[in-house]
Structure 1
Amino acid sequence: MNAKSVKRVGVVLGAAALGVGVLGAPAQADPTGFRPVVAVGSDTTQEVMNGISAAGSLIGSYDATGSATIDTRSAAGVCDSVARPNGSSAGISALVADIAAGTNCIDAARSSRGPKDTSTNDLSWVKLAKDAVTVAVRTDSGLINHSFTKAQLQSIYQCSTTVINVPGVGNITLNPLLPQAGSGTRTYWATEMGINDVTPPSCVKDTNGGQPVQEHDGRALLNQGDLMPFSIAQYIAQVNGVAPDRLGDADVRPIGGVAPYTAEFKLNTAFPIVRDVYNVVKTTRLGETNIAAAFVGTGSEACDSAVIETYGFGPLADCGSVAFTGKN
């Protein structure tokens, strides 16, 4: 039994011991029917936003992957074939394009990164929850017991460290991976690693075995030297069974000796690489009835702390507040 399976069994037994029901099946991938507020973009927050959508009545959240196009409005027309955005940057770009075209097919972009350009206040990044990001490796890799530091990971992603010697295993040639272009986690991790997410160093790849690396999909890890960034909230949700299980043989690692999750299998908010995640909307729409009720303030539909914790994220005391303004 691999580490992921052992962990899942432990979570289920722990829930039973506490008299807590085992968590249900993953929420609907795309909404059935049409909702007043359409959100697209981030893979990281798609399941928690699906859960929020299922618990509420306003937000229709469309996954980062699936069919090539989505239908976001009930009336026939241009919104029948919106290209599905895969990732935070892709979602934000789709929102910007929709605003420019005036088609009103998209209302918000899920984002796991802040703005790249803060020179304008065109868009507002509204706080949703707390997440953290660590490195994932294969459970059958010699790296599974290696103690990474942030400085060492930066050296690996800058191609300065290319081999690690693991006692009892020997030298392991490293293959650092980044998620697909358009991913907010790609942008965030590249910033933390001190590299450019558009043109990363030559040893850093966003394909493996001829296939694109989709964020938080551990099946991209094919060999013992492979490593990739992974949302800890996504990992918890996948192990708990409230998000589709894409872990494959991946397991997340401590950084600097700090565990990615607590003994209760919740996000460790003291982790050294921690971030907020957001919903991005046009700034001038923040006061609109549906947009405000969906995203603005702690009482908004998106700030359902019970759902947020169920999906592995940490609740924020200032959920629903504007963290940044920018344009992309």
Structure 2
Amino acid sequence: MNVKSRAKVGAAFGAAALGLGILATPASADPNPTTDYRQLAGVGSDTTQYAVNGLGDAVTNANGKIIASWNAVGTATIKTKATGCVISRPNGSSAGINALNADITAGTNCIDFARSSRGPADTSTQDLTFIPFAKDGVTYATDLGSSLPTNLTKAQLAAIYTCTSTEFPSAQPLLPQSGSGTRSFWLSAIGITEAQVGACVNQSVQEHDGVAIANGSQLMPYSIAQWIAQGKGIADVPNRRGESRLRSINGLAPTTGTGTATALNANFAADFLRDVYNVVPTAKITGATANPVLVETFVGSTSKVCAAGSTISTYGFGTVTNCGSTAVKAER
């Protein structure tokens, strides 16, 4: 039996042993029906899309469900409001934030918030407020039958992604698409810049899609929360893990527990843990121009999102002590 066949058998056995459901078909990517516009429209991050979709079902007020969240991938365009508001679908944190900025400039009010798995990239203005709501981590994933180690150091990962590794010269690193918050976070975490990414890196894969790992020499960054959620059999979360397995960094495991009790390891390598955010226009959460629904939903430790901790943890994320904080402001 070859390595790939052994991996497939192992993956099937592992899923059964863990008691993790595998979805047969992908879930709907957007509000269902798509004319269910609700009160706030959000776009952006692949990493947090399922958690925010879950919050869309859990978070309500007197007028019903509040959040309509549009996934990173799907139809080329989306319609976010009942009147007008047909826009190109933003794929990733930066794309979502850029779309929110463009909406603010145009004054069209088609986007109310952007999902982001990264912090600010430009603090030249305070036009946007990055509101944390959960904790995630990013590690590397490999094929179940990989020839690569199940533990690498930060320095070893940097060498692999700059294509200068002498320890693992046959490694084939994968990197998420441009605009991905996980991409920018991963490069920062391993200590390299975009300009230092080597020519051996495949930079065209969709983030958190383990099926992209096609052989035992490949590795890719993967959201720990996404990997956990994809393996739970949650109705609205398609399992994109393929035969991928999360690996350790600096000798620290990315998860704790097993089966349905698998959770983010809060003591994972510090450089590889991150807050994730909902990004809102600063002008719409302060003063006379504040949107009361936006405020009640996202702002403060008692906000509706922060009060939905059980929903957030269902999707693999950890808690943050600064949930709902409005301290972080930026341009993008």
Q: Shorter chain as normaliser: what TM range?
A: 0.7 to 0.9
* Structure 2 gap ranges (5+): 1-7, 60-64
Larger mean CA deviation between 245-254 and 228-237 belongs to 245-254
Following the alignment from structure 1 to structure 2, what is the Cα–Cα distance between the partners of residues 120 and 234? 31
Following the alignment from structure 2 to structure 1, what is the Cα–Cα distance between the partners of residues 220 and 209? 9
Corresponding position of 2:45:
42
Cα 1:98–1:162, aligned 2, differ >3 Å: closer, same or farther?
Answer: farther
Q: Is the contact between residue 135 and residue 317 of structure 2 (CA under 8 Å) also seen in structure 1? A: yes
Q: Is the contact between residue 124 and residue 326 of structure 1 (CA under 8 Å) also seen in structure 2? A: yes
Measure how far apart 1:34 and its partner are: 0.9
What is the DSSP-based 3-state SS (H/G/I as helix, E as strand, rest coil) of the residue aligned with 1:246? coil
Following the alignment from structure 1 to structure 2, what is the Cα–Cα distance between the partners of residues 2 and 284? 54
1:199-210 residue pairs with structure 2 within 5 A? Answer: 200-206=197-203
Cα 1:11–1:26, aligned 2, differ >3 Å: closer, same or farther?
Answer: farther
Give the counterpart letter for 2:246 in structure 1. V
1:159-178 residue pairs with structure 2 within 5 A? Answer: 159-161=163-165, 163-164=167-168, 173-178=170-175
Corresponding position of 2:229:
237
Give the counterpart letter for 1:316 in structure 2. V
Corresponding position of 1:74:
82
Following the alignment from structure 1 to structure 2, what is the Cα–Cα distance between the partners of residues 54 and 4? 32
Cα 1:3–1:323, aligned 2, differ >3 Å: closer, same or farther?
Answer: farther
Answer yes or no: is 1:149 the counterpart of 2:153: yes
Corresponding position of 1:253:
247
Give the counterpart letter for 1:141 in structure 2. S
Corresponding position of 1:308:
312
Give the counterpart letter for 1:251 in structure 2. R
Cα 1:108–1:198, aligned 2, differ >3 Å: closer, same or farther?
Answer: farther
Larger mean CA deviation between 292-301 and 32-41 belongs to 292-301
Answer yes or no: is 1:64 the counterpart of 2:72: yes
1:42-191 residue pairs with structure 2 within 5 A? Answer: 42-56=45-59, 57-75=65-83, 77=84, 79=85, 81-143=86-148, 145-161=149-165, 163-164=167-168, 173-191=170-188
CA-to-aligned-CA distance 1:234-284 (integer Å, 9 cap, x gap): 000001122211111211101122111112311101111100000001111
Choose the corresponding residue for 2:212, options 205, 216, 220.
220
* Structure 1 gap ranges (5+): 16-21, 165-171, 207-211
What is the DSSP-based 3-state SS (H/G/I as helix, E as strand, rest coil) of the residue aligned with 1:178? strand
Give the counterpart letter for 1:64 in structure 2. A
TM-score normalized by structure 2?
0.86
Larger mean CA deviation between 285-294 and 232-241 belongs to 285-294
* Pairs aligned (count): 304
Q: Is the contact between residue 139 and residue 254 of structure 2 (CA under 8 Å) also seen in structure 1? A: yes
CA-to-aligned-CA distance 1:24-68 (integer Å, 9 cap, x gap): x98753113111111100000000000000112111100000011
Q: Is the contact between residue 139 and residue 249 of structure 1 (CA under 8 Å) also seen in structure 2? A: yes
Q: CA RMSD in A?
A: 2.2
Cα 1:285–1:275, aligned 2, differ >3 Å: closer, same or farther?
Answer: same
CA-to-aligned-CA distance 1:178-200 (integer Å, 9 cap, x gap): 10011000110111122223672
TM-score normalized by structure 1?
0.87
Runs of 4+ in structure 1 off by over 4 angstroms are: 1-4, 25-28
Q: Is the contact between residue 156 and residue 176 of structure 1 (CA under 8 Å) also seen in structure 2? A: yes
Q: Is the contact between residue 122 and residue 325 of structure 1 (CA under 8 Å) also seen in structure 2? A: yes
Larger mean CA deviation between 216-225 and 58-67 belongs to 216-225
What is the DSSP-based 3-state SS (H/G/I as helix, E as strand, rest coil) of the residue aligned with 2:115? strand
